[in-house]
Structure 1
Amino acid sequence: MERRSFIKNTATLSASFFIMKDLMAKPKGPIYGHHNMRYTLDNKWGQLNPLKNPVNDCHEMVQDKKGRIILLTNETKNNILIYNKSGKLLNSWGHDFPGAHGLTIANEGKQESLFITDTDRHQVFKTTLDGNILKTIDCPMETGLYQKKKNLCRLKSLLQTMAISILPMVMACSMSFIIMLTGSYRATLEEEEKK
């Protein structure tokens, strides 16, 4: 057999072995999702030292224009963890959001910013992707709906009971919905206070 023919046949046989191996492979773990959105869990993705970069209640994840995954946790050692697609930690920041619960990424021209909702502080924060706070949105006390501190807790409890996201998280995503929701919540509060 000629050397050229031998190399060609060997390469073809080797390639077919690796292709068949992948075609016949079984999933390495449970499959999540349904229809054409099915996924397997990669246990090695994002493995971090829990003492250095703890994650306490991952509430939200978004992806920026560069393809980086931004994870929000209410752990004040690092509220934001930024990963590449392979799961390597690129950056972490944030120590001021004990009730970090909602995360939305906004594209404003060439600039991307984050809206972080803190349900403990009852505030929404607009930040840069590297953690500089650009704006703080407080609970709208001037509306008269929140004159008593207990109303904030009652609102949180009501929304949890209704299986709806907590008020400030919704506010970061949809102002029109929040206006409707506060109107119906006001009526509910007035009814409860009459009792």
Structure 2
Amino acid sequence: MLKQKIAIPKSSNNCHGKIIGTDKYQYSIDTHWGKLDEQQIAVENCHAFAIDSLGRIFMVTDHPDNNIVVYDKEGNLIDVWGREYPGAHGIKIVSEQGQDYIYLVDSGWILNRNWDGVSTDEWDSPTNKVIAQSGFVAKLTIDGKLIYTIGHPQTVGAYQPDMPFRPTDVAIAANGDIYVTDGYGSDYVLRYNSKGQYQEKWGGHDNQDPNHNLINAHGIELDNRDKANPKLIVSSRAEQCLKQFTLAGEYLATIATPGAWIHAPVIVGSLMYSAVCWSHIDGSNVDGSGFICIFDTDNQVIATLGGEPPSYIDGKLQPLVTDWSVFTHCHGLCVDDEGNIYVGQWRANGSYPMKLTPV
């Protein structure tokens, strides 16, 4: 949640049935897939998705009346629950000893009971629509029962009291280690063991080698495509890139995405997908300019859904921009076993998630 400076109107918001993408990465848009009765189950922002072992699709929303909405593949409502997570932002579902568990990230943003009815981007104002408090990570059973929480790192000596903690995403390693990105707080990656006990941190803004810096560390994913050398991929959104680290936090490489404020990567099979919230044009983030990137095994952008086709010159990716006709602010997505993409949006007038079906 960072302030945007300029806005360019979209050419159309009516994209149901539209074909987007190029070559073998073309998708048909179903804008009706996730729609529900707004009087019964409304959404504020659709932040993140995860799929459990039964193929059910869990969507995180920060609406004060419900935080988790569960769909089947056809978009039918299965369940809805949770008012305890007003800043609900990230989710991962992991199978542990044959049981599914949810790791839910609350970033600390809450609706302001003193909202002036106007301000939406004045994050330091006491009358803004949303205001910040400290966030947390919760481990839950698959039906939402709380097991434990991970709170402000000052409680374990990892942060000073004046350092904000507003986590945005989480990744779980094969040994159960938990990696948390503090993307709206102090921009560290914090590692905990499977019991939620603090181990170490890295990132922040002040490293001697700027490659180790993270600025708006919005999302994180475990990359097991090279099974002998698992990696972490972290979005450094304000730097318009993804950064690769070892599981011990050693910097490996940067995946540049110029022109794209890119979110958490999602890896399915050999491909990596990531939502883009804003195009960055002439030094500013632009409202209504989101799209989706697809990367190959070499971390090259091979498709931009809702964006102009990617172009490389002398091995360097040229700035990515939206085509203005599809999305507002893509925020989270997941991909099922048939290659369908489910995508949700931030600040999209309370719209429900879409389904993108391969053509």
User: What interval of TM-score do these two structures reach, taking the shorter chain for normalisation?
Assistant: 0.5 to 0.7
Query: Quick one: structure 1 residues 144 and 68, their matched pair in 2 at CA, closer, same or farther if it must change by over 3 Å?
Result: closer
Q: CA 1:66–1:146 in structure 2 vs 1: closer, same or farther (change >3 Å)?
A: same
Once the two structures are superposed, the pairs formed by residues 1-195 of structure 1 within 5 Å of their partners are 29-120=17-108, 121-141=134-154, 142-148=156-162, 151-152=163-164, 167-170=167-170, 175=179, 178-179=189-190, 182-185=201-204, 187=206
Change (3 A) 1:171 1:35: same
Alpha-carbon separation, structure 2, partners of 1:179 and 1:97: 21
- TM score, norm. by length of structure 2: 0.37
Report the aligned-residue RMSD.
2.9
* Greater relative CO, 1 or 2 (CA 8 Å, sep 6+): 2
Identity %: 29
CA deviation string 1:26-78 (max 9, x = no partner): x9622234553432111331220112111111111111111111111011211
**Distance in 1 separating the partners of 2:16 and 2:45:** 26
**Which secondary structure does the structure 2 equivalent of 1:47 belong to?**
coil
2:35 counterpart SS class:
coil
Q: Secondary structure at the match of 2:66?
A: coil
Deviation of 1:128 (Å): 1.4
TM-score computed with the length of structure 1 as normaliser: 0.65
Higher helix share: 1
SS of 1:104's partner is strand
Q: Distance in 2 between matches of 1:79 and 1:168?
A: 15
Residues 183 and 107 of structure 1, relative CA distance in 2, 3 Å threshold? same
SS in 1 for 2:149: strand
Unaligned ranges ≥5, structure 1: 1-26, 157-166, 189-195
Match of 1:159 in 2: none
Deviation at 1:88, TM superposition (A): 0.5
Q: Larger strand proportion, structure 1 or 2?
A: 2
